[in-house]
Amino acid sequence: MVLIKITTKHLLQLLHILTWIIFLGVSFEAGGFLCNTLYTYFINNSEAKFYWANLDLSPLFRQDKGEFLVITSLMTIAAILKAILFYIIIKVLLEQKLDLEKPFQPKIGRFIFSMSYVAFGISLFSNWGAKYTEWLEGKGILMPEIHHLRLAGADVWLFMGVVLFVIALIFKRGIEIQTENDLTV
């Protein structure tokens, strides 16, 4: 029987590949939102019926073009922030800043803080978009469900931001302790 030993290095390489795939997907989605918004608004108004991924935003576009811009901007901003989050992860993995021998380093602390702030931003814009969609539906405008608009899960992003922030604070304290120990020796 052959045992396959998976090391931390192998897991980091696998995570690097998966992160690139997700990054490309959310970047493509963000670009699609942005391009479709501009194309629909300025060139072909009938494309609101077949917005990105066949979303039908034509009732909103007919009702108010400004509200169409607001909801599509919120969708785009949330998608761009998701792409930024995965870019931050790729950057750390690509530059190989993860030193498992001395994990408590200022650059890793900044990395975790950055991820928590971006997760908070995704939560903020997703929640804002979901509430805005709910408000539009209250006005009688037929809107797709928020998960089709890619605005669902604001609570999950908030939870992730809080968890990452707590971990970042723990890392900050670990960095302080490690620095004190290095100075003591």
* Ordered mean pLDDT values, 10 residues apiece, the chain (185 residues): 76 89 94 86 74 78 87 94 94 75 79 94 95 91 86 93 94 84 66
The domain locations on the chain are 8-184
- Which residue bears the tokens 């037929």? 142
Residues whose CB falls within 8 Å of the CB of residue 176, separated by 6 or more in sequence, listed in order: none
2 sits in which H/E element:
none
pLDDT given at position 129: 94
φ/ψ (deg, to 5) at 51? -60, 180
pLDDT given at position 183: 67
Structure tokens at 59: 């009732």
pLDDT given at position 80: 96
| This prediction's pTM | 0.86
Neighbours of 177 (CB within 10 A): 11
| Nearest residue to 111 via CA among 96, 128, 130 | 96
pLDDT given at position 74: 94
Give the relative orientation of helices 8-42 and 65-94 as an angle to the nearest 10 degrees: 160
In whole angstroms, give the CA distance from residue 108 to residue 91: 12
